[in-house]
Each structure stands twice: as structure tokens, then as C-alpha cells.
A and B are shown apart, each in its own frame.
Chain A
Amino acid sequence: MELSPLFLSAKLALISTVILLTVAAPLTYWLVYYPVRGKFMIESLISLPMVLPPTVLGFFLLVAMGPQGVIGRFWENLTGSGLVFTFTGIVIAAMAHSLPYAFQPLKTAFERVDKRLLEAAYVLGCSRRAAFFRVVLPNTVSGLAAAAILAFAHTMGEFGVILMVGGSIPGKTKVASIAIYEYVEALRYKEAWLLSLALVSISYLILLAVNFLNRSKAHEA
């Protein structure tokens, strides 16, 4: 059995989760704590990938990231290379598809932070940005962990969007779920079984580790 799709999936999930959290946490903070006009419209837009068929989202992303698309042209001007059928392209696609899965737990966690703590921080001279790092983030560790797990797990099993944007290029865009699909199509059930079991084990171990960390944190408090 070829292991590279499994490593590629893990690499994709790790990179996209880290970048996604860096983007999603301030975005969610802004939506929760600032008086934003049309907040519900923005939130609905963020949640849209949850209800869209992956092929539809994948199609839009393919068009947007293509040579004539807004994102594709911007990227090409910036780096000189395209996005479609590249690893960078599938990182962006995975982030777009996982955004609502990170956004929801982050939003719940941020809303639970006692707003009086933020006011106390402001009165103590702390700016809004500093309050995000010094008060909000340390008090939303479990929400951040939940967002990271959901985004990571979701990306590990991502199929439709990645196939649309990245195709199936071995070593570049052929992730585990696409490899499993191809094994099944070629009636290579043994490889499909092994890769599927490996995916299940990795996902389960991650969940175990995070639950263990959460329990230790709860005992500490």
C-alpha cells in the first residue's frame, strides 16, 4: 500500500487547520465583539459550505482559482504560478470548506467569555487587540481545541472539493480519501481497507489526545 496519500492528507489537514485558525479566530472575534453591519449575512455566508454539495463549492473554487478567476489571477501576479491542481490550491479549498466547522465552536466559545472581563481589561489600559490575545484566547482554549479538531478531522476526510480543485496528482494533490476512492474503483479492496483503517485510527488518536488534554485542563482549573 502506498502511504504518501495518507501523509499528504495529514500535511494538508495540519497546514490548513493552522492557517484556518489564524484567520478564523480574529474573524470570529470581530463578528462577536464588534458592532458589525449585516452580521447575520456574513455568518450565513461563512456557514454556506456546510450545506452546499462539495462539488458545487469545488466548482466555484475551481472557477475562482483558475487562470481567469479573481483568486487565481491575484495569486499568479503575486507568485508567478497558478493555484489549480497544486497543493497550495487544495490548502485554500480545504480552508474554505472547513471554515464553518471552525467558526461555530469558536463563536460559541467567544460568546461564553464574560464580557465584563473584557471591560475590566479595557479599564486596565488593555487595547481591544491586546484583550483578544490576553483575555479572550486564554479563556477559550477548549473552543480553540474543538475548532482545530473539527477542522482537522474534516480536512482529513475531505474528498469532493479537493478532487474538483486539485484533481488526483500523486504526491501533490492525491490525498487519502481520493486514493481510497481510486482503490475501490480499481477493485483493490485490501488497500482501500488498510488506508481506511489508518484514517480511522489517526482520527481516533487525535480525538483521544484532545479529550485527554481537555480533562487535564479541567482538573487544573
Chain B
Amino acid sequence: MKLEVEIVKQLPRFAVNISLACRSGELLALVGPSGSGKTTLMRIIAGLDRPDIGRIRFNGETWLDTRDKIDLPPQDRNLGYVFQEYTLFPHLTVFNNVAFAGRDKKKVTDLLKLLDVWQLKDRKPGRLSGGERQRVALAQALARDPKILLLDEPFSALDIVTRRNLRKELCKLKKEFNLPVVHITHDLEEAECMADTILPMVNGRIEKGWLANRSEQDHPESGASWAKGEIVNLCSHENFRSAAGK
């Protein structure tokens, strides 16, 4: 299963012009500063925004093709989307939030147990901590049996300990569900920890130089390898670190 995206969308300050592909079991991290068009890209993949021109295909199925006037609504794209801000339904309990997509009770129960929030099943989102909410949001996104998973800075509002725990859990989930996962973050360390592929994104474009500069700042000794400007496509965290010269 493979997600292929080629889109152009003009924003007030710059145009988002991106081409990417993500396979099953691969976690692709789009890293870049805030306001670089990452969320716009995710919203376009989800069908919540429309590009000026572009094409999105999933496993041979066309979700969007502006030339052929194909544009599947978000309801028909069957993806899981964990938003940057918490978007749990405040009037529903944790259980009913996860069951929102209409899955059977057993599936919801399994997911709540898998993400360690079963004990919170009767609580409303207003009474959950940030980490608990994002766990529930992950369970909610997975409850639909999505074909791909989109993560829009899901850990940005969490403390460092919760963030690290959730990163580990997400890596486990990625293996278990074997989905293409597109994860956007402005945190290079987070991307390094989790991603198989890292695409640096600045002002709507893949900017190889940005990652090289960041890497030089963060790890001066590794700068030379990044400065070659290769977009990394690595199979594991260990490979990533050795390629970065650590």
C-alpha cells in the first residue's frame, strides 16, 4: 500500500509545492518550522482543503485529481487523523469518542486497552490530561481501521516525559498496524526518534539545506554528511543515527 501525493497550493506568503510517497509500515516525518505549510499539506491529504492543482493516489485509487475533477470527500478517504489540538467530542465519554466511527464494542475495548486508557472509558475529555487525550485521539483515529494515519504535531502540547512515552507507543503501533504514517513536527529530535523517512519542509517546499543547517547547529560534527543535501530515506532509527554521523 502506497500513498502518493503531488500538490500545489498558493498560500498568502508562498506556495505549498510538494511531492511525496509513503509506503505501508513507513513513518514519514515532515519536519520544518511553524508556518511552513505542513498542516495545509495534511489537510489536503485528508480532504479538508483543496489544492490549486494536484493528485493524491492511495494504492492505485485516486482520491484527488484536479485535472480529472476527482475530489473524494474526507468521509470516503478512510484515514486516521490526529490533530494538533485536541479534537475529542466534549459531549461524549472516552468510550463513545473512540466508538464514534461506529466500530464494534470489542474493537473499541481492545484499542482502549492497547493505548492504556481503558480505565478512563467513562470520563469526558474535559477531565483528561493532555497525554491521556492524545492517547484517546490515537485510539479514535485507529478505530476506523484507517488505510493511512496522519499525525499533525500530536505531541506538541505535551510535557517531555509524556511525549517520550507516547513516541515509543506510536513506534509500537506503527509496527502493529503496518500503515503508512505521515507525521508532521517542528521537532527534529522527535523526527529522528521515530521516522523512517525525514523530509524537511520550509515555505511549502522540501528544503534539503534547512535540515543540513539544523543538523550542523545541533550536531556540528554531523554537518558534513547533511550538507550533501540528500533527503534521507532510512529504514530504522539506528541507521538514521549512523548516517547522521553520531
CB distance from B144 to the nearest CB of A (A): 6
**Residue of A at shortest CB range from B74?**
A122
Quick check: is A126 within 8 A (CB to CB) of the other chain? yes
A117: B residues at CB distance < 8 A? 87, 89-90
Contacts A120-B81, A125-B102, A126-B100 given; does A139 touch B91 at CB 8 Å: yes
A135: B residues at CB distance < 8 A? 89
Q: Interface size class for chain B?
A: 20 to 34
Quick check: is B107 within 8 A (CB to CB) of the other chain? no
Q: How far is the CA of A209 from the CA of B79 in the complex (A)?
A: 44
CB distance from A133 to the nearest CB of B (A): 12
A182: B residues at CB distance < 8 A? none
Inter-chain contact B101/A125, CB cutoff 8 Å: yes
B74: A residues at CB distance < 8 A? 119, 122-123
**Mask of A80-96 contacts with B, CB within 8 angstroms, 1/0:** 00000000000000000
Inter-chain contact B101/A124, CB cutoff 8 Å: yes
Q: Interface size class for chain A?
A: 10 to 19
**Mask of A87-126 contacts with B, CB within 8 angstroms, 1/0:** 0000000000000000000000000001011011111111
B78: A residues at CB distance < 8 A? 125
Quick check: is A221 within 8 A (CB to CB) of the other chain? yes
Inter-chain contact B79/A123, CB cutoff 8 Å: yes
Inter-chain contact A119/B144, CB cutoff 8 Å: no
Quick check: is B83 within 8 A (CB to CB) of the other chain? yes
A124: B residues at CB distance < 8 A? 100-101, 140, 144
Quick check: is B220 within 8 A (CB to CB) of the other chain? no
Quick check: is A38 within 8 A (CB to CB) of the other chain? no
Contacts A120-B87, A139-B90 given; does A125 touch B81 at CB 8 Å: no
Q: How far is the CA of A125 from the CA of B47 in the complex (A)?
A: 12
A122: B residues at CB distance < 8 A? 47-48, 73-75
Quick check: is B245 within 8 A (CB to CB) of the other chain? no
A134: B residues at CB distance < 8 A? 100
B48: A residues at CB distance < 8 A? 119, 122-123
**Residue of A at shortest CB range from B101?**
A124
B79: A residues at CB distance < 8 A? 123
Inter-chain contact B85/A116, CB cutoff 8 Å: yes
Q: How far is the CA of A120 from the CA of B46 in the complex (A)?
A: 10
CB distance from A221 to the nearest CB of B (A): 6
B229: A residues at CB distance < 8 A? none
CB distance from B4 to the nearest CB of A (A): 20
Q: How far is the CA of A117 from the CA of B100 in the complex (A)?
A: 12
A126: B residues at CB distance < 8 A? 75, 100-101
Quick check: is B124 within 8 A (CB to CB) of the other chain? yes
Q: How far is the CA of A122 from the CA of B101 in the complex (A)?
A: 10
Q: How far is the CA of A2 from the CA of B47 in the complex (A)?
A: 62
Q: Which 8 A-B pairs have the closest CB atoms?
A: A120-B87, A138-B91, A122-B74, A124-B101, A123-B81, A123-B74, A116-B87, A125-B75
Given contacts A123-B75, A221-B90, 19 further A-B contacts (CB under 8 A): A116-B83, A116-B87, A117-B90, A119-B74, A119-B83, A120-B83, A120-B87, A121-B89, A122-B48, A122-B74, A123-B46, A123-B48, A124-B100, A125-B78, A126-B100, A134-B100, A138-B89, A138-B91, A138-B92
16 chain-A/chain-B pairs, Cβ below 8 angstroms: A116-B87, A117-B90, A119-B74, A119-B83, A120-B87, A122-B74, A123-B46, A123-B48, A123-B74, A123-B79, A124-B144, A126-B100, A138-B92, A139-B91, A221-B90, A221-B126
